[in-house]
Structure 1
């Protein structure tokens, strides 16, 4: 990792992964085929890209039971405990509607309602992500979503990872489909003979999944278009270099375009972290991926002060921020822009990825300036309610009509003025 003096022009220094014209053309064709041909298209593309076309897209209860039985009981217990932590945290986010009483019996209100159905995408490929199941499903359940659907690509034997199916089983999810890529997004958005369409799609995926989510937005809601992972660490001389290096690599191993950044007030720490990153890379199983991330997008910056470091972080607005300093909580009060903040030596970023209870689906590409991580609010909708009595209407109708005419909307004015007297039988 390169060591530089921190300047005011700090950025993530990474191109947005927005896809190219050929990828977009492919995604649009897939979505068109799924809309027109349904299950047939989903299976054909599954065979083409995943190497397997299942006779039935839906995972059976027997497959779910066999997956749970095949997993180490300790791992089942760990997933169960993690799920409980995540549920406890998200339960605090529940909202209730309200009724604002006005004069003469009139009132205004807001109803909080869950989205009726959501489709949650779980990436497949070379790794299994049961944590993605927990992080997407639990806030939807807490919100009260009645129908929750999982989609994930199968391997060449037509199997989903046992850990993914176990996580779904722990949460009581029964509607799971063997499908991935843009075809899965199309099936969830448009529906097929086998799969009823959903109202919202959440969950991470590759560039084809991201582009497909962008294309179907409007017909369904989506959570976000997430980019490669990011971690920024603010550290002072109290931090341990080997631990900081390990935390940087925990995100670098995700993706060659992941962005690991250290900002430190200690030149000695900077040099030691640089050394430890290189040493730890040599034994990392995903060395090739992590090395590309570190070499292309990794940076170590030396700051004059913690204040300069926090100013830079607010400019970066990273997905993950670790603060490994003296008085870390006090330092965090200067941070306005970060997807999630981890305080102190023992709050390593993977604690949040798997177990603490906070959600790991977070805004990337500096969108933490205006966006939040996945939460219960993402699975609710708010309906406004108005009740005016005749007295409240009569007091305010002239004002409303004048405002309508100010905007040139005579029909609005007449709608208000058409009320208020006994019309008898018409």
Structure 2
């Protein structure tokens, strides 16, 4: 494939603007979740614009899937960096994130006005969407990340541990345990894929910048405990909650659901109903699922909330994944050649399947499915996603329409018992 040469490139400022506008259009039109986003990126940047080779793009996607964080946003950030330096990376992230962030803020603004039977039916329809979408994520991730008995056993271990000890610390233990079990059980399965040495795109990240990015990731993850008192206390707690959630997401954007649930709902900041309604609304948004954080940040009961809370929460949940990409770029070729690293991450990926399976039960299922009719609607939505491959936006419309129609005819789920 012919890749664009340096003689064909416009000025740096023009490239940054070009990156922003291209990713803004993708942010407005990229429905379907992170796997679909990668398809949009490949068509846009490999087939149409030829900004990089297909092999280089595949390697870049592999790196972002290897790291915790939102893989599609990390890939987009890296493509922007490749095209126009670090300012291009920021332009790519802003363009891709802005549309869905604003959509989720509008949903949060409308949330207090959703009272009464119709509003309740709309919220309930969004909660049923969440059931179908998370079930699809468990199904797809289980087939992809647990292809053998050993990794399926790791997923079952993670599910059992999550059921017995439901806390944010359990989730960290599940991830760590998955890595250890992967080291023991998954070396043979990952040895062949770990030894590849394909060409990786040359993104100019110095070792000093990479070390600084990793140091920043660790320092922010440890948490500035000395700021927990005084006027900044609530803002620091909010930042930490979303930053830690973003730092431990392996395997896809839906895995952020149980992490955020423990950080936001279990602490009493947001009700379970509002949380799941927002998560359902996020399925109707294009772009990255992580912008669900903007919805939650807006609804925080005390400042920083509204615009400040939405922007702080959004920046915090994306920041760890972007820092890790910058830190990993110089050493990816060396790390990916080690079977031990590949085995550990295979175990982590299997463990997050179990973690997400528990989230499907609590809080998603127990809050949304209250009777046989709810089960029928959620099951129909699941089959439409998995077998008929309908876009999530169509399933959102179906669930909301069915829930509102039942409320209008007096057959709302709440009136059916359960």
In which range does the TM-score fall when normalised by the shorter chain?
under 0.3
The TM-score, its normalising length taken from structure 2, stands at 0.26
The TM-score, its normalising length taken from structure 1, stands at 0.26
Larger radius of gyration between Structure 1 and Structure 2: 1
Q: Which is strand-richer, 1 or 2?
A: 1
Q: Which is helix-richer, 1 or 2?
A: 2
